[in-house]
Structure 1
Amino acid sequence: MPCASIPASSTSAQLTRRRITRNLVTIGELYHELTHSLSSARTSRGVVERVRERGTPGIPLNGRAVEVRDRVRGVLASWAAVVREGRGVPAPTRNTVALLAFLSHHSGWLAGHEAAEDLVAETDDLVKTAWGVLSGHTDRRMVVGPCVRPGCRGTLVAHLGTASSGGAAITCTVERGHTWTPELWHTLHETPRRAGRGTAGLTAQDIAAGWRIASGTVYWLANTHGWRRRKSGRQVYYDRDDVLATMRTRTAAAGAAP
């Protein structure tokens, strides 16, 4: 008797689940290594970088490793919130080991989620960034997407440099005048829409890049605030006005916080 063929969608979900699980395991191992690297940082010139922990004078810390560890926790927590909202289950505390175990347990469900590819891409990036810190060769550039200024054919690139290298900014590869500093990044999607994009709305990737938040946080916000959405093929577009209303409220709340 011939074997029954496995549906392509099932095979794809299995592959996605394996990729998610593999990345989570790797992130756990790299996070452990980052913890051990906290007090032994060297810059590309071989000079030890010393960053003193607030309130604990005299303890040298690898500032970049601290930053990446915080980012890992933030990204994992945002995806745990997606699972919590989608499955109605309690999420673990903001502890990296617990978050990794939680997401691994729900990897099958996540593999079938509309945001599965975003989760894979985001965890891929965490792995790449962590390796960069541990090897001392961190990639400090990130392509954001096409320039939002009407008629411009350039590409926006985020430069995540330090103050000594000119600071962080999003710049256009064609027109240097098209530049946004970090405090203005959230306005990138408030500029006039480009021809042909019309009422397409904003993708999760647009929102994550424009407001510098994890993709998991985007889906959590969409569910929490009931953003209107429409699908075009496999791509989901969120209503631009709904997104901007939520983000303006978040920005105002952050500015009012002590």
Structure 2
Amino acid sequence: MAVTAPCQGEGCRRRTAEGRSRRRTAATGRLCRPCREHLDAGLAELAHLYEECGRMLAGAAPGSLRERTTGGDLPGLPFNGAAADVRARMVSVLGSWSGLVAQERGFASPPRHVAALTAFLRRNGDWLAAHPAAAEATEEVARLVRAGRRAAFPEPARSIRLGACPEAGCSGSLTVAVRHSGDDSGQPVVCDAAPAHRWTSDQWSELSRTMDAGRAPGTAAPAPTERWLTAADIARLWHTPTGTVYRLASEQRWRRRNHAGRTYYNETDVRTCFDRRAAART
């Protein structure tokens, strides 16, 4: 019988800090499946964040989805030191881990470009997940992702309107504050008319179903409301790396629409996808 042990990944380390037990590792590694998937998604997201930080150097407005443009930097714009620092750290940290993999596996080192480095590490992800330094790899990648989000999306918190409050007799609307601070902790979903009506973002799937049904017990049923969310909104409501959101949106063919240069995904498609993923893990 395969022997497993407590996971050493960054996600399970945070579970311990919250008073929860660590998950068990996969049979051949030092990481549980969620932490292994989180490492892969973090590496995928870093390639995207590196490009986003590059646009910040060029004076682009914050935002996760923008069209590429040709031409040089706009004149007279201040140098974005935070974005430059994060990009340099990405190259340094990812280069170090790639060097370790290449040396111990006898491979040629990849070019010191973030896209090449992340692709190389993802190809060797299973090997890295079984390495004695797997815990440090997950922590450093997670720190880079948080730093990259802070530098690439520095705008202050904004509120997303999610729909009418489902509590009986309440005429308020539910909102959630989205912060691009790199903090993965969930923000509460709060009613703007009655702050006592609040839910954690972990409860969003079940709450959303209640809203789609049109009522809480004992209330009249208004017509269901279609909700549309950005990739950043989805990442924070479901505590999922943005890289995973982009991958799932493509694989699962979520309905989408564009408005003012941003892409929004149909919340029902998103919720159905994450409900299936959660059921598969139980």
TM superposition score normalised by structure 1: 0.41
Higher fraction of helix:
1
